[in-house]
Amino acid sequence: GIQVEQSPPDLILQEGANSTLRCNFSDSVNNLQWFHQNPWGQLINLFYIPSGTKQNGRLSATTVATERYSLLYISSSQTTDSGVYFCAGEGETSGSRLTFGEGTQLTVNP
Amino acid sequence: DGGITQSPKYLFRKEGQNVTLSCEQNLNHDAMYWYRQDPGQGLRLIYYSQIVNDFQKGDIAEGYSVSREKKESFPLTVTSAQKNPTAFYLCASSPTGGNTGELFFGEGSRLTVL
């Protein structure tokens, strides 16, 4: 199956700062998605972004499928942005199964 | 409200006992999934079902069993054969049964085996 590498593994920011999280894939992927896991464990789907760029408020994501990576941008970070950010993708031969990265642990301090 | 409901949220069991985790969705989604998460790690796929009365093993299916008798329900049984069952279990669903579409998660069930 495909390998998913996320960077950085940990990130500490002051409130108001901007950040970029990266996700690299070992092979071509379909159905690339970004999730945020809050401190209580709930996973929220942020973006379904197989290719191109999407924006939702202070968050935006870009996927360059041909180069097998995706970026998540967080602008003007808030303490509520803290948590773990996961990316996941489905390999072209995986058959309906997403492979998740290990996540980026984000802490936003007031 | 539409969503995915997992129960119980917390469960304690003695070693050697089977436990069943419930997952119900009212989103009319075809596909449902069970993932396991260990502390500080990503999610690993246990089982998935793309359609009623059919399911496939994921990457870590040993020691687990599932059923999909109804579209809205996908219970997971953690059997005594699972060597390290203490974990956070997440159920998810997606609209389509083909390629994984946009994935939506329940709130999870934390299982602790004493």
Q: pLDDT tens across A9-67, in order? A: 999 999 999 999 999 999 888 889 999 999 889 999 999 999 999 999 999 999 998 89
What average pLDDT does this structure show over B24-48? 94
Which conformational region is residue A57 in: left (phi greater than 0), alpha (psi within -120 to 50 degrees), or beta?
Answer: left
Preferred mutation among A98, A99, A104, A105 to probe B, highest tally of B CBs within 10 A:
A98
Average pLDDT along chain B: 92
Q: What does the alpha-carbon distance between residue B79 and residue A31 come to, in Å, rounded to a whole number?
A: 32
* A20 vs B95: CA distance, rounded Å: 30
Which pLDDT value is given to residue A88?
Answer: 94
Q: Is the pLDDT of residue B1 over 90?
A: no
CA distance A32 to chain B (A): 9
- Determine the distance in angstroms separating the CA of B18 from the nearest CA of chain A, rounded to an integer: 24
* Position B49 confidence tier, pLDDT thresholds 50, 70, 90: very high
pLDDT the model gives residue B100: 66
pLDDT at A90: 87
pLDDT classification of A80: cutoffs 50, 70, 90: very high
> Which of A71-75, B24-28, B94-98, B108-112 has the least mean pLDDT?
B94-98
Contact B106, B90 (CB under 8 A): yes
Q: Are strands B31-37 and B76-78 parallel, antiparallel or unpaired?
A: unpaired
Nearest CA to A101 among A83, A85, A79, A82? A85
A interface with B, Cβ–Cβ < 8 A, is 1, 4, 30-31, 33, 35, 40-45, 48, 86, 88, 90, 96-98, 100-103
- At residue A100, the pLDDT reads 93
Instruction: Please give the pLDDT value at position A95.
Output: 66
Q: What is the pLDDT of residue A106?
A: 97
Q: Which residue has the higher pLDDT, B88 or A90?
A: B88
